[in-house]
Structure 1
């Protein structure tokens, strides 16, 4: 392929895989590939990964992308990196990785969250930092290290995130991207700068926190050592990067106030675009990739992960029938469950199997199945699982509306969105049309587009739309509205009653 085409590289440092994409402007995907990542849980509630594995994956992915596409390295005009947020990576004064990264889904620091909440006023903190006092805070993770791994804590010289780490490996420059800094709890919304007072809550020296950088700003350029490891050209610009869920929102077309994305992965993200800030501890706050916009968002602790668990543990007997029909087990379960009525004949599931993040922030919550009788079977339970997540989504939509961010358009992306049965349930429960997408390659696409914007290859943030097309628009069915209204009310009341019962037992 001629090197006359302008190409941009996007990398996604994900929880389960590292993904790379090479795009040609204005509208071509030239190559895409991935490598798996090992998530370790050495103790209950822990989630860790080895940052060196991410870099090893990058050094394999980039040569493969070049080979697949036939693009010479000098044709790559910019690089953008996205990743999960806020993972915690720490280096010592020799730039050696001190310990495995503590992932965003890690739940070990509950005591430290309570500790911080006892020291400061949460309402004041939320208005200042934009996010509530919860387990996303890097200060809580660092305090856990201080109290449980003091030798490691004393060695810390650099604190940053997953994609910040890859940016450093590519350029030799250290920075923290704006949304890592915001969700870490280090940014003062009054001036959008790092706050010494907020960073002090982490108990680590101020010098450990690198400067903050905007997503599209050029951080540095590919070094000679990075060229040797990856095959890239020395001097290729690398931009600040992006949080994976925010990048996915941009790639899906969430560009106007009121645009909402339902992102169905192992967990479920809910994101909405807005031009106004109204911090609320029930939700997370991030910057939109489009300047002067924001992306309040929620994240459920589970989603596809719980559906996979259920299919594996309880639906294995249906696998032969699925294979005979040439279907996945999930597709087969959708088909047979479609024969049950909306509301699953009274079976309802509260899907808080891993506790829950937004909007309830209850790490002790657990899954609940109620209404089950001997007249029900696997079909009802599967449908109830799908409806349970739809009810949880409706809770998020209500909270956003209370915050002054009503949803005007709803889009759906990622693996779970391939289930039209589930997406129709979501449309019915939300009582809103759900727009399906075709060709959405994920966060890596937006990482590449952020890089294109950063080096001036495009001046149109919405230009990313050329890579993704719309599929079917699923309309809510009016005949289910009343039933799902009652089901949602029961969903909320059941959780509230269960939480009260847990509290009463604890007090007793």
Structure 2
């Protein structure tokens, strides 16, 4: 039997799995880490101390478990696949040393001025024509320009700008690459038509030779070096694929790859990937390619979700209570307690409505200045009402994205949900009730790491196409939409929209 290793780097946690060619989980492990917020509107990770540290720890742990439990050696692992939060911007020097901490995806909103400058220099319509999407905090290009403008000494030393999965691939193989699915979010650098870097727009941000080589996720781009083998426990020569963004690997892991399938990822933020038959240009969502040529997607994502519930649990149950540090509470105990309490609050949270824009907002609002709000607070409200209102506010933001998809004519035939949030039954039901959708829940919800393992199998020729993931996936239950509370949710959803429209100018002033 042959095996593949899949590892994913998330916002607050990294996960890894060892899988055989039939999709059986041989070993799995997870490592928590911190999200660094050095200034308001910034979000960073230390690439060496977080990304590479987690990879090394997970790799060694998985190989050890496989050896102890099944007698599997590192030599039997045929390939390694990685994914990470995306897009991230990490400048490295010629020795591969990170020159600063990685600037993360849309939760980092520092590049507002650079977005405005690029829209002015290139033209908003031209930006949209090149990349198929408008610039927002999700775009990586303006963050490169931010480094060039604010940290010129870093920029001058930069050999390559890498993404999260790209840095892990570099550490393993010495190759500097980026998969095309991730590269689309390097707007406005990537041309959605040619599927190559666009020389016209690149010139406004950086030099072309500072960009990594473009590839497809299933491509084998190198092998594990002897130095990397010593640090990870992998065998030298183990093949390494290009990898991709965490959300795409999540979608593959649950079989949400058929036309009309929508992956709904409940993570630190919520993310959506709808498999489409064509590139659907829209300024409200993010059109994208897939991990293989010829397939397309329509994607979107909120700025907060699990990060918001984590913040609330931390504040209400004590500093870092949600992480289980400096307390007698485990992570699971803390969230279980708050969910039980929230279940005591009725649908509609006793008249409390939350705008979940605690880190700006991504799709479809695209407003880095958006602020969080709890509207309707009174002396009668409890933390249970507040927590339920957070879940309902996130659900409203999800519905807003689904409404836009419907308006675009994008057909959603099936929703498959995954991520840490699927453990929260109240949240799942809230989304189904507010959005009036049915959600399929798969048996294995390990997430992106499992998807990485399947992508490895494709690279090795174990699978002929994406559709064969159906043999790995077993849907075990569905969350059905309720009808009893539709009136209160419809009323609150209307107020949710009006609250933002009436206060967005004040948010910017603040």
TM-score w.r.t. the length of structure 1 is 0.91
Higher mean C-alpha deviation, range 351-360 or range 98-107? 98-107
Q: Is the 8 A contact 2:354 2:373 kept in 1?
A: yes
> What CA distance in whole angstroms lies between the structure 2 residues aligned with 1:15 and 1:440?
17
1:286 — aligned with what? 288
CA distance in 1, matches of 2:352, 2:54: 44
Distance in 2 (CA, whole Å) between partners of 1:47 and 1:434 is 31
Q: CA deviation at 1:229?
A: 2.5
Report deviation, 1:468: 4.0
CA distance in 2, matches of 1:247, 1:191: 24
Please give the per-residue CA displacement for 1:399-426, whole angstroms capped at 9, x wherever unaligned: 1122221322122211221121221111
- Paired residue for 2:195? 192
Q: CA deviation at 1:453?
A: 0.1
- 2:45 is aligned, of 45, 49, 60, to 49
> Structure 1's 446 and 310: CA in aligned 2 closer, same or farther, altered over 3 A?
same
- The C-alpha deviation readout for 1:168-219, integer Å capped at 9, x for no partner, is 22122221211222101222122212211122121x2211112200000111
Q: Distance in 1 between matches of 2:340 and 2:215?
A: 48
Q: Residue 502 of structure 1: CA displacement? A: 4.8
Contact 1:397 1:406 in 2 (8 A): no
Instruction: State the partner residue of 1:426.
Output: 431
Partner residue of 1:115?
117
Q: Which whole-Å CA distance do the structure 2 matches of 1:368 and 1:56 have between them?
A: 36
Which residue number in structure 2 is paired with residue 384 of structure 1? Answer: 389
Give me the whole-angstrom Cα distance separating, in 2, the residues matched to 1:146 and 1:7: 43
Q: Which deviations, in whole Å up to 9, do the C-alpha atoms of 1:459-505 show, x marking residues without a partner?
A: 142333444432321211222233322221111111111124556x6
Q: Where does residue 445 of structure 1 map in the other structure?
A: 450
Contact 1:275 1:292 in 2 (8 A): no
User: Is 1:10 aligned to residue 6 of structure 2?
Assistant: yes
Q: Secondary structure at the match of 2:109?
A: coil
- State whether residues 246 and 295 of structure 1, in contact with CA within 8 Å, keep that contact through their aligned partners in structure 2: no
1:113-165 per-residue CA deviation (whole Å, 9 max, x = no partner) reads: 11111112223312321221122333211221122111111111211211111
The aligned runs of 1:45-444 (5 Å cut-off) are 45-53=41-49, 54-70=51-67, 71-104=72-105, 105-185=107-187, 186-202=189-205, 204-314=206-316, 328-444=333-449
Q: Return the offset for 1:449.
A: 1.0
8 Å Cα contact 2:253/2:447 also seen in 1: yes
The unaligned stretches of length 5 or more in structure 2 are 322-327
CA shift digits 1:358-404 (9 cap, x unpaired): 11111221122223334443333222222111111110001112222
CA distance in 1, matches of 2:295, 2:136: 24
Q: Secondary structure at the match of 2:14?
A: strand
- Could you tell which deviates more after superposition, 377-386 or 302-311? 377-386
Counterpart CA distance in 1 for 2:100 and 2:250 is: 29
Gaps of 5+ in 1: none
Question: How many angstroms does 1:83 deviate by?
Answer: 0.9
Would the alpha carbon gap of residues 66 and 243 (structure 1) be closer, same or farther in structure 2, given more than 3 Å must change?
same
Q: More displaced, 34-43 or 143-152?
A: 34-43
* Deviation of 1:327 (Å): 7.8
2:324 corresponding residue in structure 1: none
Structure 1 residues 421 and 502, CA gap change in structure 2 (3 angstroms): closer
- SS state of the match for residue 15, structure 2? strand
CA contact (8 A) 2:36 2:44 kept: yes
Once the two structures are TM-superposed, the CA of residue 40 in structure 1 deviates from its matched residue by 2.6
Point out the more displaced range, 239-248 or 117-126. Answer: 117-126
Indicate how the Cα distance of structure 1 residues 60 and 349 shifts in structure 2: closer, same or farther if over 3 A, else same. Answer: closer
The CA distance in 2 between the partners of 1:327 and 1:218, in whole Å, is: 38
Instruction: Mark the structure with the bigger radius of gyration.
Output: 1
How many residue pairs end up in the alignment? 494
Q: Measure the CA separation in 2 of the matches of 1:280 and 1:255.
A: 21
Asked whether the 8 Å contact 1:11–1:447 carries over to 2, the reply is: yes
Which secondary structure does the structure 2 equivalent of 1:458 belong to?
A: coil
Range 350-359 or range 369-378, more displaced? 369-378
CA contact 1:157–1:208 (8 Å) conserved in 2: yes
**Residues 128 and 188 of structure 1 are in contact (CA less than 8 Å); yes or no, is this contact kept in structure 2?**
yes
Distance 1:276 1:67, change over 3 A: same
Q: Secondary structure at the match of 1:19?
A: strand
Farther off after superposition, 439-448 or 42-51: 42-51
* Deviates most, 100-109 or 329-338: 329-338
- Is residue 89–residue 101 contact of structure 1 (8 Å, CA) maintained in 2? yes
CA distance 1:401–1:197, change in 2 (3 Å): same
